[in-house]
Structure 1
Amino acid sequence: MKQYAADYTPQEMLVAAGSRQLEDNKVIFAGTGLPMVGITLAQLTHAPGIIPVFEAGAVGSSLTRGLPLSVGDSRTSCKAHYMQGLSSAFELTQRGFIDIGFIGGAEIDPYGNLNSTMMGCFPEEYQKPKVRLPGSGGAGDMACSCTNTIIIMAHEPRRFAPRLNYYTSMGYFDGKPGARKAAGLQGNGPARVITTKALMGFDEETKRMKILATMPGETVASVQDMTGFPLLVDDNVYEFEPPTVEEIGLIREVIDPLGYFVKKTLKSS
Protein backbone atom coordinates (compact mmCIF):
# COMPACT_ATOMS: atom_id res chain seq x y z
CA MET A 1 0.00 0.00 0.00
CA LYS A 2 1.30 3.44 -0.93
CA GLN A 3 2.40 5.76 1.86
CA TYR A 4 1.99 9.41 0.89
CA ALA A 5 4.38 12.04 2.20
CA ALA A 6 2.92 14.58 4.60
CA ASP A 7 5.62 17.19 3.99
CA TYR A 8 6.81 18.16 0.51
CA THR A 9 7.51 21.29 -1.52
CA PRO A 10 5.86 22.31 -4.81
CA GLN A 11 9.14 21.48 -6.59
CA GLU A 12 9.14 17.98 -5.14
CA MET A 13 5.53 17.54 -6.26
CA LEU A 14 6.59 18.72 -9.70
CA VAL A 15 9.41 16.19 -9.95
CA ALA A 16 7.24 13.32 -8.70
CA ALA A 17 4.50 14.19 -11.21
CA GLY A 18 7.04 14.45 -14.02
CA SER A 19 8.56 11.11 -13.14
CA ARG A 20 5.19 9.36 -13.23
CA GLN A 21 4.60 10.49 -16.82
CA LEU A 22 7.66 8.53 -18.00
CA GLU A 23 7.07 4.97 -19.20
CA ASP A 24 9.49 2.09 -18.83
CA ASN A 25 11.76 1.17 -21.76
CA LYS A 26 11.33 4.53 -23.48
CA VAL A 27 14.20 6.57 -24.94
CA ILE A 28 14.12 10.03 -23.33
CA PHE A 29 16.20 13.08 -24.26
CA ALA A 30 16.99 14.80 -20.96
CA GLY A 31 17.04 18.55 -20.48
CA THR A 32 19.09 20.16 -17.71
CA GLY A 33 17.78 20.37 -14.15
CA LEU A 34 14.39 19.04 -13.09
CA PRO A 35 14.03 16.74 -16.16
CA MET A 36 17.23 14.92 -15.08
CA VAL A 37 15.88 14.56 -11.54
CA GLY A 38 12.55 13.24 -12.86
CA ILE A 39 14.22 10.70 -15.16
CA THR A 40 16.44 9.41 -12.36
CA LEU A 41 13.45 9.12 -10.02
CA ALA A 42 11.58 7.12 -12.66
CA GLN A 43 14.60 4.81 -13.13
CA LEU A 44 14.72 4.16 -9.38
CA THR A 45 10.99 3.46 -9.05
CA HIS A 46 8.68 2.29 -11.81
CA ALA A 47 10.78 2.56 -14.99
CA PRO A 48 14.26 1.00 -14.59
CA GLY A 49 14.49 0.38 -18.34
CA ILE A 50 14.41 4.07 -19.36
CA ILE A 51 17.23 4.97 -21.75
CA PRO A 52 18.25 8.60 -21.16
CA VAL A 53 20.04 10.55 -23.88
CA PHE A 54 22.13 13.61 -22.99
CA GLU A 55 23.01 16.45 -25.33
CA ALA A 56 26.77 15.94 -25.02
CA GLY A 57 26.37 12.42 -26.41
CA ALA A 58 25.91 9.94 -23.56
CA VAL A 59 23.22 7.32 -24.18
CA GLY A 60 21.75 4.90 -21.62
CA SER A 61 23.40 6.33 -18.49
CA SER A 62 22.64 5.46 -14.86
CA LEU A 63 23.32 8.51 -12.73
CA THR A 64 24.76 6.61 -9.77
CA ARG A 65 27.81 8.92 -9.52
CA GLY A 66 25.70 11.89 -8.53
CA LEU A 67 23.39 14.32 -10.26
CA PRO A 68 24.98 16.10 -13.25
CA LEU A 69 24.86 19.88 -13.08
CA SER A 70 24.40 20.13 -16.85
CA VAL A 71 23.86 17.89 -19.86
CA GLY A 72 27.61 18.18 -20.54
CA ASP A 73 28.71 17.13 -17.04
CA SER A 74 31.05 14.12 -17.11
CA ARG A 75 28.67 12.31 -14.72
CA THR A 76 26.19 11.90 -17.60
CA SER A 77 28.57 9.24 -18.95
CA CYS A 78 28.24 6.99 -15.87
CA LYS A 79 27.47 3.44 -17.04
CA ALA A 80 26.43 4.76 -20.46
CA HIS A 81 25.81 2.30 -23.28
CA TYR A 82 27.97 4.50 -25.50
CA MET A 83 29.16 8.09 -26.08
CA GLN A 84 29.56 9.70 -29.48
CA GLY A 85 28.99 13.42 -29.14
CA LEU A 86 26.43 16.15 -29.67
CA SER A 87 25.82 15.55 -33.38
CA SER A 88 25.18 11.86 -32.77
CA ALA A 89 22.70 12.63 -29.98
CA PHE A 90 20.65 14.93 -32.20
CA GLU A 91 20.88 12.49 -35.09
CA LEU A 92 18.86 10.10 -32.92
CA THR A 93 16.04 12.66 -32.72
CA GLN A 94 16.08 13.28 -36.46
CA ARG A 95 15.96 9.54 -37.21
CA GLY A 96 12.93 9.09 -34.97
CA PHE A 97 14.60 7.13 -32.18
CA ILE A 98 13.70 9.48 -29.29
CA ASP A 99 10.30 8.79 -27.74
CA ILE A 100 10.19 11.84 -25.44
CA GLY A 101 12.06 15.11 -25.17
CA PHE A 102 11.84 16.15 -21.51
CA ILE A 103 12.38 19.92 -21.34
CA GLY A 104 11.71 23.05 -19.30
CA GLY A 105 11.01 26.65 -20.19
CA ALA A 106 10.58 30.12 -18.73
CA GLU A 107 7.39 31.04 -20.61
CA ILE A 108 4.68 29.09 -22.45
CA ASP A 109 1.64 30.01 -24.54
CA PRO A 110 -1.74 28.24 -25.05
CA TYR A 111 -0.33 26.04 -27.83
CA GLY A 112 2.74 24.76 -26.01
CA ASN A 113 5.27 27.06 -27.66
CA LEU A 114 8.14 27.82 -25.27
CA ASN A 115 10.40 30.78 -24.58
CA SER A 116 13.77 30.27 -22.90
CA THR A 117 15.58 33.15 -24.62
CA MET A 118 14.48 36.49 -23.17
CA MET A 119 11.80 38.22 -21.13
CA GLY A 120 10.41 41.71 -20.84
CA CYS A 121 10.29 42.65 -24.52
CA PHE A 122 9.19 41.32 -27.87
CA PRO A 123 11.38 40.24 -30.80
CA GLU A 124 11.50 43.71 -32.38
CA GLU A 125 13.48 44.78 -29.28
CA TYR A 126 15.73 41.72 -29.24
CA GLN A 127 18.89 43.68 -28.47
CA LYS A 128 17.38 45.33 -25.36
CA PRO A 129 15.69 42.63 -23.25
CA LYS A 130 14.91 43.21 -19.60
CA VAL A 131 16.06 39.65 -18.84
CA ARG A 132 18.34 37.53 -21.01
CA LEU A 133 17.72 33.81 -20.42
CA PRO A 134 20.06 30.87 -21.19
CA GLY A 135 18.55 30.25 -24.64
CA SER A 136 17.55 27.10 -26.44
CA GLY A 137 20.48 24.80 -25.86
CA GLY A 138 19.11 21.66 -27.47
CA ALA A 139 15.48 22.26 -26.49
CA GLY A 140 14.53 23.84 -29.83
CA ASP A 141 15.81 20.79 -31.72
CA MET A 142 14.15 18.42 -29.27
CA ALA A 143 10.81 20.19 -29.71
CA CYS A 144 11.18 19.89 -33.48
CA SER A 145 12.19 16.25 -33.81
CA CYS A 146 11.40 14.13 -30.73
CA THR A 147 8.29 11.98 -31.17
CA ASN A 148 6.68 13.90 -28.29
CA THR A 149 7.80 16.38 -25.67
CA ILE A 150 6.95 16.72 -21.99
CA ILE A 151 7.33 20.20 -20.52
CA ILE A 152 8.02 20.78 -16.83
CA MET A 153 7.91 24.25 -15.26
CA ALA A 154 6.72 26.41 -12.37
CA HIS A 155 3.16 27.75 -12.65
CA GLU A 156 2.91 31.55 -12.46
CA PRO A 157 0.76 34.01 -14.47
CA ARG A 158 3.84 35.70 -15.98
CA ARG A 159 5.06 32.33 -17.28
CA PHE A 160 1.74 31.43 -18.94
CA ALA A 161 1.32 34.15 -21.55
CA PRO A 162 -1.07 34.56 -24.51
CA ARG A 163 1.90 35.81 -26.54
CA LEU A 164 5.51 34.88 -25.95
CA ASN A 165 8.35 37.36 -25.72
CA TYR A 166 10.37 35.02 -27.96
CA TYR A 167 9.62 31.67 -29.65
CA THR A 168 12.49 29.36 -28.71
CA SER A 169 10.95 25.87 -28.90
CA MET A 170 7.89 25.30 -31.04
CA GLY A 171 4.78 23.48 -29.88
CA TYR A 172 1.66 23.66 -32.05
CA PHE A 173 2.38 27.15 -33.48
CA ASP A 174 -1.07 28.85 -33.69
CA GLY A 175 -3.04 25.60 -33.38
CA LYS A 176 -4.01 25.39 -37.06
CA PRO A 177 -4.22 21.84 -38.48
CA GLY A 178 -0.94 20.67 -39.95
CA ALA A 179 1.05 23.69 -38.73
CA ARG A 180 3.99 21.59 -37.51
CA LYS A 181 4.19 19.56 -40.70
CA ALA A 182 3.95 22.69 -42.84
CA ALA A 183 6.93 24.11 -40.96
CA GLY A 184 8.96 20.96 -41.64
CA LEU A 185 8.91 19.56 -38.11
CA GLN A 186 8.77 15.79 -37.78
CA GLY A 187 7.83 15.36 -34.10
CA ASN A 188 4.23 15.23 -32.93
CA GLY A 189 4.60 18.14 -30.49
CA PRO A 190 4.05 18.51 -26.73
CA ALA A 191 2.05 15.76 -25.03
CA ARG A 192 2.05 17.04 -21.44
CA VAL A 193 2.77 20.19 -19.44
CA ILE A 194 3.56 19.45 -15.81
CA THR A 195 3.52 22.37 -13.39
CA THR A 196 3.43 23.04 -9.67
CA LYS A 197 -0.36 23.37 -9.95
CA ALA A 198 -1.61 21.01 -12.65
CA LEU A 199 -1.04 18.28 -15.20
CA MET A 200 -2.13 19.47 -18.62
CA GLY A 201 -2.43 18.13 -22.13
CA PHE A 202 -3.67 19.57 -25.43
CA ASP A 203 -7.03 19.35 -27.16
CA GLU A 204 -6.88 17.08 -30.21
CA GLU A 205 -8.66 19.54 -32.52
CA THR A 206 -7.74 23.04 -31.35
CA LYS A 207 -4.33 22.13 -29.83
CA ARG A 208 -5.06 24.46 -26.91
CA MET A 209 -3.80 23.60 -23.44
CA LYS A 210 -6.21 21.59 -21.29
CA ILE A 211 -6.28 20.76 -17.57
CA LEU A 212 -6.18 16.99 -17.03
CA ALA A 213 -5.49 16.95 -13.29
CA THR A 214 -4.97 19.41 -10.45
CA MET A 215 -2.17 19.05 -7.94
CA PRO A 216 -3.10 18.38 -4.28
CA GLY A 217 -4.80 21.41 -2.75
CA GLU A 218 -5.51 23.02 -6.11
CA THR A 219 -8.78 23.37 -8.02
CA VAL A 220 -9.61 24.14 -11.64
CA ALA A 221 -10.39 27.70 -10.53
CA SER A 222 -7.10 28.17 -8.67
CA VAL A 223 -5.14 26.85 -11.65
CA GLN A 224 -6.97 29.18 -14.02
CA ASP A 225 -6.36 32.14 -11.69
CA MET A 226 -2.61 31.58 -12.05
CA THR A 227 -2.70 31.30 -15.85
CA GLY A 228 -2.48 34.24 -18.23
CA PHE A 229 -4.89 32.77 -20.79
CA PRO A 230 -8.08 30.65 -20.71
CA LEU A 231 -7.53 26.94 -20.22
CA LEU A 232 -9.72 24.13 -21.49
CA VAL A 233 -10.82 21.56 -18.88
CA ASP A 234 -11.01 17.83 -19.50
CA ASP A 235 -14.36 16.16 -18.79
CA ASN A 236 -12.64 13.72 -16.41
CA VAL A 237 -10.35 16.11 -14.55
CA TYR A 238 -9.03 14.56 -11.31
CA GLU A 239 -6.74 15.34 -8.37
CA PHE A 240 -3.18 14.13 -8.78
CA GLU A 241 -1.83 11.84 -6.07
CA PRO A 242 0.72 13.50 -3.74
CA PRO A 243 4.34 12.29 -3.63
CA THR A 244 4.96 9.05 -1.80
CA VAL A 245 7.34 8.66 1.13
CA GLU A 246 9.60 6.65 -1.18
CA GLU A 247 9.68 9.36 -3.85
CA ILE A 248 10.50 12.14 -1.37
CA GLY A 249 13.19 10.01 0.26
CA LEU A 250 14.85 9.29 -3.08
CA ILE A 251 14.76 12.95 -4.17
CA ARG A 252 16.18 14.29 -0.89
CA GLU A 253 18.62 11.56 0.08
CA VAL A 254 19.74 9.87 -3.14
CA ILE A 255 19.16 11.97 -6.27
CA ASP A 256 19.65 15.60 -5.19
CA PRO A 257 20.80 15.56 -1.54
CA LEU A 258 22.54 18.95 -1.87
CA GLY A 259 19.45 20.62 -3.32
CA TYR A 260 21.04 21.76 -6.58
CA PHE A 261 17.75 21.62 -8.48
CA VAL A 262 15.08 20.61 -5.94
CA LYS A 263 14.80 22.78 -2.85
CA LYS A 264 13.81 20.97 0.33
CA THR A 265 12.18 23.96 1.98
CA LEU A 266 9.96 26.80 0.78
CA LYS A 267 11.34 30.32 0.60
CA SER A 268 10.06 32.56 3.36
CA SER A 269 7.75 35.31 2.12
Structure 2
Amino acid sequence: MPVSKRWGARPCAPAGGKLHKIRKTTASETTVTYTPAELMTVNAARLLRDGDVVFVGVGLPNLACNLARRTHAPRLTMIYEAGVIGAQPARLPLSIGDPTLVSGAAAICSMYEIFAFYLQRGLIDVGFLGGAQIDRFGNVNATVIGAYAHPKVRLPGSGGSAEIAAWANRTYFITPHQKRRFPEKCDFVTGAGFLDGRAARIASGVRGGGPQAVVTDLGLLEPDEAGELILTALHPGRSVEDAVANTGWPLKVAPNVRTTAPPTEAELRLLREELDPRGIYLKGAA
Protein backbone atom coordinates (compact mmCIF):
# COMPACT_ATOMS: atom_id res chain seq x y z
CA MET A 1 0.00 0.00 0.00
CA PRO A 2 1.37 3.45 -0.83
CA VAL A 3 2.63 5.37 2.15
CA SER A 4 0.22 8.23 1.47
CA LYS A 5 -2.71 5.87 2.03
CA ARG A 6 -1.13 4.25 5.08
CA TRP A 7 -0.61 7.64 6.71
CA GLY A 8 -4.07 8.84 5.71
CA ALA A 9 -2.54 11.67 3.70
CA ARG A 10 -3.32 12.75 0.20
CA PRO A 11 -0.43 13.17 -2.24
CA CYS A 12 0.65 16.73 -1.58
CA ALA A 13 1.50 19.47 -4.01
CA PRO A 14 5.20 19.58 -4.87
CA ALA A 15 7.20 20.85 -1.90
CA GLY A 16 10.55 22.49 -1.79
CA GLY A 17 10.34 25.85 -3.50
CA LYS A 18 9.86 27.30 -6.96
CA LEU A 19 8.44 25.05 -9.66
CA HIS A 20 10.26 24.44 -12.93
CA LYS A 21 8.71 23.00 -16.07
CA ILE A 22 10.18 20.15 -18.06
CA ARG A 23 8.81 18.82 -21.31
CA LYS A 24 7.88 15.18 -21.65
CA THR A 25 9.55 13.34 -24.47
CA THR A 26 6.25 12.05 -25.81
CA ALA A 27 3.92 13.07 -28.58
CA SER A 28 1.43 14.44 -26.06
CA GLU A 29 3.72 17.43 -25.39
CA THR A 30 2.35 17.85 -21.86
CA THR A 31 4.58 19.24 -19.13
CA VAL A 32 5.46 18.22 -15.61
CA THR A 33 6.84 20.47 -12.89
CA TYR A 34 9.52 19.88 -10.28
CA THR A 35 11.12 21.87 -7.49
CA PRO A 36 14.80 22.54 -6.74
CA ALA A 37 14.59 20.13 -3.80
CA GLU A 38 13.16 17.39 -6.01
CA LEU A 39 15.83 18.08 -8.63
CA MET A 40 18.60 17.75 -6.02
CA THR A 41 17.14 14.57 -4.56
CA VAL A 42 16.73 12.83 -7.91
CA ASN A 43 20.24 13.67 -9.07
CA ALA A 44 21.67 12.59 -5.73
CA ALA A 45 19.86 9.26 -6.00
CA ARG A 46 21.29 8.69 -9.47
CA LEU A 47 24.84 8.77 -8.08
CA LEU A 48 24.22 5.50 -6.27
CA ARG A 49 25.01 2.21 -7.99
CA ASP A 50 23.03 -0.98 -7.72
CA GLY A 51 24.77 -3.12 -5.10
CA ASP A 52 26.31 -0.21 -3.17
CA VAL A 53 26.47 -0.40 0.61
CA VAL A 54 25.41 3.05 1.82
CA PHE A 55 25.69 4.66 5.25
CA VAL A 56 22.57 6.83 5.14
CA GLY A 57 22.56 10.33 6.62
CA VAL A 58 19.53 12.29 7.80
CA GLY A 59 17.43 14.65 5.68
CA LEU A 60 17.65 14.64 1.90
CA PRO A 61 20.36 11.92 1.83
CA ASN A 62 17.79 9.63 3.46
CA LEU A 63 15.22 10.50 0.81
CA ALA A 64 17.72 10.10 -2.05
CA CYS A 65 18.87 6.66 -0.88
CA ASN A 66 15.31 5.37 -0.53
CA LEU A 67 14.47 6.73 -3.99
CA ALA A 68 17.48 4.95 -5.49
CA ARG A 69 16.41 1.65 -3.89
CA ARG A 70 12.93 2.04 -5.36
CA THR A 71 14.23 2.76 -8.87
CA HIS A 72 17.56 1.83 -10.46
CA ALA A 73 19.32 0.31 -7.42
CA PRO A 74 17.07 -2.37 -5.90
CA ARG A 75 20.09 -4.19 -4.43
CA LEU A 76 21.23 -1.11 -2.52
CA THR A 77 22.14 -2.01 1.06
CA MET A 78 21.14 0.81 3.39
CA ILE A 79 22.87 1.06 6.75
CA TYR A 80 21.63 3.37 9.49
CA GLU A 81 23.65 4.66 12.42
CA ALA A 82 21.30 3.24 15.06
CA GLY A 83 22.45 -0.27 14.11
CA VAL A 84 20.30 -1.31 11.15
CA ILE A 85 21.82 -3.21 8.22
CA GLY A 86 19.95 -3.81 4.98
CA ALA A 87 16.99 -1.61 5.88
CA GLN A 88 13.86 -2.04 3.77
CA PRO A 89 11.49 0.48 5.35
CA ALA A 90 7.80 0.30 4.46
CA ARG A 91 7.66 4.09 4.66
CA LEU A 92 10.27 6.81 4.66
CA PRO A 93 12.06 6.77 8.03
CA LEU A 94 11.88 10.06 9.90
CA SER A 95 15.17 9.53 11.73
CA ILE A 96 18.07 7.09 12.00
CA GLY A 97 16.20 5.38 14.85
CA ASP A 98 12.74 5.16 13.28
CA PRO A 99 11.10 1.79 14.16
CA THR A 100 10.14 1.23 10.51
CA LEU A 101 13.82 0.53 9.79
CA VAL A 102 13.77 -2.65 11.87
CA SER A 103 11.03 -4.57 10.07
CA GLY A 104 12.52 -6.52 7.17
CA ALA A 105 16.12 -5.48 7.85
CA ALA A 106 18.89 -7.99 7.21
CA ALA A 107 20.40 -7.50 10.67
CA ILE A 108 20.19 -5.37 13.80
CA CYS A 109 23.30 -4.66 15.86
CA SER A 110 24.78 -2.08 18.19
CA MET A 111 26.01 1.34 17.12
CA TYR A 112 29.51 0.24 18.14
CA GLU A 113 29.37 -2.71 15.74
CA ILE A 114 28.14 -0.52 12.87
CA PHE A 115 31.07 1.85 13.21
CA ALA A 116 33.82 -0.58 14.26
CA PHE A 117 33.02 -3.68 12.22
CA TYR A 118 31.50 -2.15 9.09
CA LEU A 119 32.62 1.43 8.61
CA GLN A 120 36.20 1.24 9.93
CA ARG A 121 36.85 -2.06 8.15
CA GLY A 122 36.19 -0.37 4.82
CA LEU A 123 32.92 -2.16 4.08
CA ILE A 124 30.93 1.01 3.36
CA ASP A 125 30.93 2.02 -0.30
CA VAL A 126 29.16 5.34 0.19
CA GLY A 127 28.56 7.76 3.02
CA PHE A 128 25.70 10.09 2.08
CA LEU A 129 25.61 13.29 4.12
CA GLY A 130 24.40 16.87 4.35
CA GLY A 131 26.04 19.84 6.03
CA ALA A 132 25.60 23.51 6.89
CA GLN A 133 28.92 24.44 5.26
CA ILE A 134 31.07 22.68 2.66
CA ASP A 135 34.34 24.35 1.76
CA ARG A 136 36.71 24.44 -1.18
CA PHE A 137 38.26 21.05 -0.36
CA GLY A 138 35.07 19.26 0.65
CA ASN A 139 35.43 19.66 4.41
CA VAL A 140 32.03 19.81 6.08
CA ASN A 141 30.75 21.79 9.06
CA ALA A 142 27.73 20.66 11.08
CA THR A 143 28.87 22.06 14.43
CA VAL A 144 28.94 25.89 14.67
CA ILE A 145 28.70 29.01 12.55
CA GLY A 146 31.23 31.57 13.76
CA ALA A 147 33.89 31.09 16.44
CA TYR A 148 33.57 27.81 18.35
CA ALA A 149 33.70 29.48 21.78
CA HIS A 150 31.23 32.21 20.82
CA PRO A 151 29.19 30.87 17.90
CA LYS A 152 26.60 32.82 15.97
CA VAL A 153 24.68 29.58 15.49
CA ARG A 154 25.06 26.28 17.33
CA LEU A 155 24.31 23.44 14.91
CA PRO A 156 23.21 19.85 15.73
CA GLY A 157 26.78 18.52 15.63
CA SER A 158 28.57 15.59 14.09
CA GLY A 159 26.44 12.60 14.87
CA GLY A 160 28.28 9.99 12.82
CA SER A 161 29.36 12.33 10.04
CA ALA A 162 32.96 12.73 11.25
CA GLU A 163 33.54 8.97 11.12
CA ILE A 164 31.59 8.51 7.89
CA ALA A 165 33.56 11.26 6.13
CA ALA A 166 36.80 9.68 7.34
CA TRP A 167 36.14 6.03 6.53
CA ALA A 168 33.61 5.63 3.70
CA ASN A 169 35.12 4.69 0.35
CA ARG A 170 33.12 7.47 -1.32
CA THR A 171 31.35 10.39 0.31
CA TYR A 172 28.51 12.29 -1.33
CA PHE A 173 26.89 15.50 -0.08
CA ILE A 174 23.61 17.19 -0.90
CA THR A 175 22.87 20.82 -0.02
CA PRO A 176 21.38 23.97 -1.59
CA HIS A 177 23.91 26.07 -3.50
CA GLN A 178 24.23 29.28 -1.49
CA LYS A 179 27.31 31.40 -0.82
CA ARG A 180 26.91 31.08 2.94
CA ARG A 181 26.91 27.29 2.60
CA PHE A 182 30.00 27.22 0.38
CA PRO A 183 32.68 29.31 2.13
CA GLU A 184 36.31 29.10 1.10
CA LYS A 185 37.03 27.66 4.53
CA CYS A 186 34.58 26.15 7.01
CA ASP A 187 34.14 27.89 10.36
CA PHE A 188 34.65 24.46 11.95
CA VAL A 189 35.61 21.12 10.38
CA THR A 190 33.18 18.48 11.57
CA GLY A 191 34.04 15.96 8.87
CA ALA A 192 37.28 15.85 6.91
CA GLY A 193 37.21 16.26 3.17
CA PHE A 194 40.61 16.74 1.57
CA LEU A 195 41.63 19.16 4.38
CA ASP A 196 43.74 21.62 2.32
CA GLY A 197 44.40 19.19 -0.56
CA ARG A 198 44.61 15.47 -1.39
CA ALA A 199 48.15 15.21 -0.05
CA ALA A 200 47.00 16.53 3.32
CA ARG A 201 44.27 13.90 3.61
CA ILE A 202 46.71 11.12 2.76
CA ALA A 203 49.24 12.46 5.27
CA SER A 204 46.57 12.55 7.99
CA GLY A 205 46.19 8.77 7.82
CA VAL A 206 42.48 8.91 7.04
CA ARG A 207 41.72 5.85 4.93
CA GLY A 208 38.42 6.67 3.23
CA GLY A 209 38.28 8.00 -0.30
CA GLY A 210 36.94 11.43 0.63
CA PRO A 211 34.23 13.51 -1.05
CA GLN A 212 33.45 12.43 -4.60
CA ALA A 213 30.48 14.67 -5.39
CA VAL A 214 28.37 17.49 -3.97
CA VAL A 215 24.86 17.75 -5.41
CA THR A 216 23.23 21.18 -5.23
CA ASP A 217 20.16 22.82 -6.71
CA LEU A 218 22.41 24.35 -9.39
CA GLY A 219 24.50 21.37 -10.44
CA LEU A 220 27.30 19.07 -9.40
CA LEU A 221 30.69 19.77 -7.83
CA GLU A 222 33.43 17.13 -7.98
CA PRO A 223 37.08 17.18 -6.81
CA ASP A 224 39.93 17.76 -9.23
CA GLU A 225 43.36 16.13 -8.94
CA ALA A 226 44.29 18.49 -6.09
CA GLY A 227 41.08 17.73 -4.19
CA GLU A 228 39.46 21.11 -4.90
CA LEU A 229 35.76 21.08 -5.73
CA ILE A 230 35.05 22.28 -9.27
CA LEU A 231 31.85 22.62 -11.29
CA THR A 232 31.34 19.59 -13.52
CA ALA A 233 27.59 19.63 -14.26
CA LEU A 234 24.67 22.04 -14.37
CA HIS A 235 20.99 21.32 -13.96
CA PRO A 236 18.63 22.34 -16.78
CA GLY A 237 18.18 26.11 -16.93
CA ARG A 238 21.14 26.87 -14.67
CA SER A 239 24.29 28.68 -15.74
CA VAL A 240 27.96 28.77 -14.85
CA GLU A 241 27.40 32.34 -13.67
CA ASP A 242 24.74 31.13 -11.20
CA ALA A 243 27.17 28.64 -9.68
CA VAL A 244 30.11 31.04 -9.52
CA ALA A 245 28.00 33.79 -7.93
CA ASN A 246 26.77 31.43 -5.21
CA THR A 247 30.17 30.01 -4.24
CA GLY A 248 32.45 31.58 -1.65
CA TRP A 249 35.70 30.90 -3.49
CA PRO A 250 36.80 31.41 -7.12
CA LEU A 251 35.00 28.36 -8.47
CA LYS A 252 36.84 26.53 -11.23
CA VAL A 253 34.81 25.12 -14.11
CA ALA A 254 35.52 21.82 -15.83
CA PRO A 255 36.35 22.05 -19.57
CA ASN A 256 33.22 20.14 -20.59
CA VAL A 257 30.40 20.92 -18.17
CA ARG A 258 27.58 18.46 -18.78
CA THR A 259 23.85 19.02 -18.25
CA THR A 260 21.98 16.71 -15.91
CA ALA A 261 18.76 15.00 -16.96
CA PRO A 262 15.59 16.36 -15.35
CA PRO A 263 13.51 14.17 -13.03
CA THR A 264 11.23 11.66 -14.71
CA GLU A 265 7.52 11.41 -14.00
CA ALA A 266 8.12 8.06 -12.30
CA GLU A 267 10.75 9.53 -9.96
CA LEU A 268 8.53 12.48 -9.09
CA ARG A 269 5.55 10.22 -8.43
CA LEU A 270 7.58 8.13 -5.99
CA LEU A 271 8.81 11.23 -4.17
CA ARG A 272 5.41 12.91 -3.93
CA GLU A 273 3.02 10.02 -3.48
CA GLU A 274 4.98 7.31 -1.69
CA LEU A 275 8.23 8.53 -0.14
CA ASP A 276 7.46 12.06 1.06
CA PRO A 277 3.73 12.78 0.56
CA ARG A 278 3.70 15.35 3.38
CA GLY A 279 6.78 17.16 2.13
CA ILE A 280 8.60 16.59 5.42
CA TYR A 281 12.01 16.48 3.76
CA LEU A 282 11.33 18.39 0.57
CA LYS A 283 9.76 21.40 2.28
CA GLY A 284 12.63 21.53 4.75
CA ALA A 285 15.08 21.85 1.87
CA ALA A 286 13.33 24.89 0.42
| Length-normalised TM-score, structure 2 | 0.87
- Matched residue, 2:238: 218
Q: Deviations over 1:172-208 (max 9, x none)?
A: 000152x22321211010000001111111002x211
Quick one: which of 21, 36, 45 aligns to 2:62? 36
The CA RMSD measured in Å over matched residues stands at 1.7
Matched residue pairs, number? 259
The yes-or-no answer on 1:244 pairing with 2:244 is no
Structure 2 counterpart of 1:258, one-letter code: R
C-alpha deviation, 1:211, in angstroms? 1.0
Unaligned runs of 5+ in 2: 1-23
Distance 1:166 1:52, change over 3 A: same
- Matched residue, 1:97: 123
The yes-or-no answer on 1:197 pairing with 2:201 is no
Unaligned runs of 5+ in 1: none
Q: Deviations over 1:77-130 (max 9, x none)?
A: 2311000021111120100100000000000111000000111x13xxx23211
Structure 2 counterpart of 1:195, one-letter code: T
Give % identity. 40
C-alpha deviation, 1:160, in angstroms? 0.5
Q: Distance in 1 between matches of 2:129 and 2:87?
A: 18
SS in 1 for 2:171: strand
Q: Distance in 2 between matches of 1:30 and 1:252?
A: 20
Q: Distance in 2 between matches of 1:137 and 1:5?
A: 41
Q: Deviations over 1:17-76 (max 9, x none)?
A: 000000000100000111111011111110000000000010111121x21111111122
C-alpha deviation, 1:5, in angstroms? 6.2
Quick one: which of 142, 147, 151 aligns to 2:173? 151
Distance 1:251 1:176, change over 3 A: closer
Q: Distance in 1 between matches of 2:31 and 2:221?
A: 23
1:62-77 matches, cutoff 5 A: 62-64=88-90, 66-77=91-102
Q: Distance in 2 between matches of 1:155 and 1:75?
A: 32
| Length-normalised TM-score, structure 1 | 0.92
Q: Distance in 1 between matches of 2:139 and 2:125?
A: 19
* Runs ≥4 residues deviating over 3 A: 1-5
- Matched residue, 1:180: 201
- Matched residue, 2:38: 12
Distance 1:30 1:2, change over 3 A: farther
Structure 2 counterpart of 1:248, one-letter code: L
Distance 1:257 1:141, change over 3 A: same
Structure 2 counterpart of 1:193, one-letter code: V
C-alpha deviation, 1:232, in angstroms? 1.8
Q: Deviations over 1:141-176 (max 9, x none)?
A: 000001110011111011100121111011000015
